[in-house]
Amino acid sequence: MPLYLHQWRYKDEQIRQMLENEESSDRADVVRTAIEAFGGTLHGFYYAFGDCDGVAISEFPDETTALSCVMLIYGQGRIQTVRTSTLFTQQATLAAMRQAQDVLHPPQAGSHPSP
């Protein structure tokens, strides 16, 4: 199943709520529940400094399912922005590079592969 990297920024009001109410501060459980409802798996949930407040790595059966889950979470109105990127394994990336190399440098007609 494909892996996804999610990066988000909370709205100021959500951060205030998390600071005031300990029960609303465990967002990992909320995200895990949503992901599992779509047949996915949460592999990691982290808070962060910098351009985003949080980062998660998830796994879903397909892109449409991943998008549906992100839309559900985003639609709750607690997140200001969210970015989701598909992650590729080392093996998939190497296979893609070989495929690109084959198109860039196709075998010459009449040439024989070296033994």
Please report the pLDDT score of residue 46 as a whole number.
97
| pTM for this model (two decimals) | 0.81
Domain-located, residue 63: yes
With 0-12 / 13-18 / 19 or more C-beta atoms within 10 angstroms meaning exposed / middle / buried, residue 82 is middle
Please report the pLDDT score of residue 112 as a whole number.
63
Long-range CB contacts for residues 89-98, cutoff 8 Å, separation at least 24: 89/3
Number of domains in the chain: 1
d(CA 53, CA 50): 7
CATH of the domain at 41: 3.30.70.1230
Please report the pLDDT score of residue 37 as a whole number.
97
Q: Report helix, strand or coil for 29.
A: helix
Place of tokens 């639609």: 75
For the record, the structure tokens of 69 come out as 């889950």
Residue 40 near residue 69 (C-beta atoms within 8 A): yes
Please report the pLDDT score of residue 18 as a whole number.
86
Mean pLDDT by 10-residue block, N- to C-terminus, for the chain (115 residues)?
95 89 79 96 96 96 96 93 95 95 85 61
**32: containing domain:** 3-89
